[in-house]
Amino acid sequence: MGLFSRKPQIIEAQYAPQVMGENMPSLYNAIFARVSRHDAMSVPSVARARNLICGTVASIPLEYYKTSTGEVIAPPRWIKQLSKNQPSFVTITWIVDSLLFYGVAYLLITERYAEDGRPAQFEWVANSRITFTTDLEGIMVTQYYMDLKPIDMNDIVTIQGFDEGVLDRGSRTIQAAIDVERAAAVNSAQPQPAGYLKNTGADLPPSEVSGLLAAWKRGAQSNSTRYLTSTLEYNAVAFSPRDMMYTDAIRSLSTQIARTMNVPSYLLSSEDNQSMTYSNVQDERKQFYALSIEPYIQAIQSRFSMDDISTAGHEVKFCVGDTFLKQDPLVEIQVLEKLLSLGLITTEQAMAMTDLTPNGSEGL
C-alpha cells in the first residue's frame, strides 16, 4: 500500500502557515466603497475576461512529479479531485476567481492523511465568508474567521495572488462601465431626450397645459409621432442616446477592463482582429498563456507544492503540454531539419519530438 492509497482520516492539523497580505476586513470595503464582485460580473467584459481566465486554467489537469527526475508519479487523491463534493474543474475555477477578484483564495482542509497529517481533501471557501485579525502592524494574520466563527489556523490554506485583486485596483474602471451601461439602458427605455414645450402664442389655462404635457409624455413613452401647432416649439435640454456616444464609451471601457484583467482586448471584442492566420493564432495563444493565465497557474501549483501539502521531493504542476506552447509546425520542421543536418539528433529522435513512432504513425 502506498502512502496516498491508504484511507484518509480526519485528524488535527500539525502545521499553521503564517500568511502575509493586504486583504483588509469588511471595514475596508465600507470606507473605500469597493465595487462588489456581483456588480462587477454584471459587466459583460468583466464576465467574459473572468470566464476566459478561470475556465482556461481549470481545464488544464494537475500532475504530480518527482522533483529530482521530473518523472510523473502516482498522485495523492486530491490531485484528481480537490473537493469531495465537486469536480476539480469547478474547484479550480473558483480558486482562480478568488485570485482574480480578491488577490487571495481560501481552501478549508476537510480531511487529512493519518500518517503525516497532510491534506487529503479540500473545500473552496468564498472570500465573503472569511475575515481575519492581524498583529499590531497589520501584516501577519493572527486569526481567521469563517462565517464570523474562529477556525483553526492549521485548517485553512491560503493561496496568495500576485496583486491585490481586480476589485481593488480596477474598481473605478469597473464602476464607470456599470454607470455607462446603466445610463445607456435608461436612455434606451426613454429615447426622447428631456426638454420643454415653448408656446409662442396666447397663454393656455393650467388644465390645458397639464393635458398637453400628459399627451406629450404618452407619445414619448410609445415613441409615436406627435403634432405641434404653429405656436408650439419643442426644445431639448438633454443629449440623445446617439449624442451621448454610449457605444464608444462602452467600447473604450471594455478595452480598459481588458488591460485591468491582463486579457488581450480582441478576446473581449473590444477591437477588430480580422487577419488571423494559424501562425499568429499560435503566437496569440502563447501570449494569452504568458500574460493572462500563467501567473495564476504559478500561484496555485507553487502553493500545492509546499511541504505542508506535498511530500518532500515532490511537486505539483499543471500539465500545460502543447496546448499553449506548441511551435508553428513549419518552424518546428525547419528546426528539426537543421538539427538532423548537424547530426545533433537521430531520425528516431526527430520522430519522437513530433509525436511520431519510428514507423511514421502517430504515437499512442
Cell of 304: 500545492
pTM: 0.72
Query: Strand, coil or helix: what is 186?
Result: helix
How far apart (Å, rounded) are the C-alpha atoms in residues 39 and 29?
A: 14
**Confidence (pLDDT) at 3:** 47
Residue 58 pLDDT exceeds 70: yes
What mean pLDDT comes out for the span 86-107? 96
Residue 14 pLDDT exceeds 50: no
pLDDT band at residue 122 using 50, 70 and 90 as cut-offs: very high
pLDDT band at residue 24 using 50, 70 and 90 as cut-offs: very low
Please write the tens of the pLDDT for every residue from 188-221. 665 555 666 677 767 777 777 677 777 766 665 5
Cell of 356: 511520431
Query: Strand, coil or helix: what is 248?
Result: helix
**Confidence (pLDDT) at 294:** 93
Cell of 11: 485528524
Closest listed residue to residue 129, CA positions, set 154, 160, 98, 166: 98
**Confidence (pLDDT) at 147:** 94
Residue 184 pLDDT exceeds 90: no
Q: Using only C-alpha atoms, what is the Rg of the chain?
A: 29
Contact criterion met (CB below 8 Å) for 57 and 297: yes
**Confidence (pLDDT) at 347:** 82
Closest listed residue to residue 50, CA positions, set 102, 86, 108: 102
**Confidence (pLDDT) at 260:** 93
How far apart (Å, rounded) are the C-alpha atoms in residues 301 and 185?
A: 43
**Confidence (pLDDT) at 190:** 59
Pairing of strands 156-160, 104-112: antiparallel
**Confidence (pLDDT) at 243:** 54
Cell of 347: 531520425
**Confidence (pLDDT) at 11:** 41
How far apart (Å, rounded) are the C-alpha atoms in residues 181 and 178?
A: 5
User: Which residue spans within the chain are E strands per DSSP?
Assistant: 62-66, 71-72, 104-112, 119-125, 130-134, 141-146, 149-151, 156-160, 195-199, 232-236, 314-318
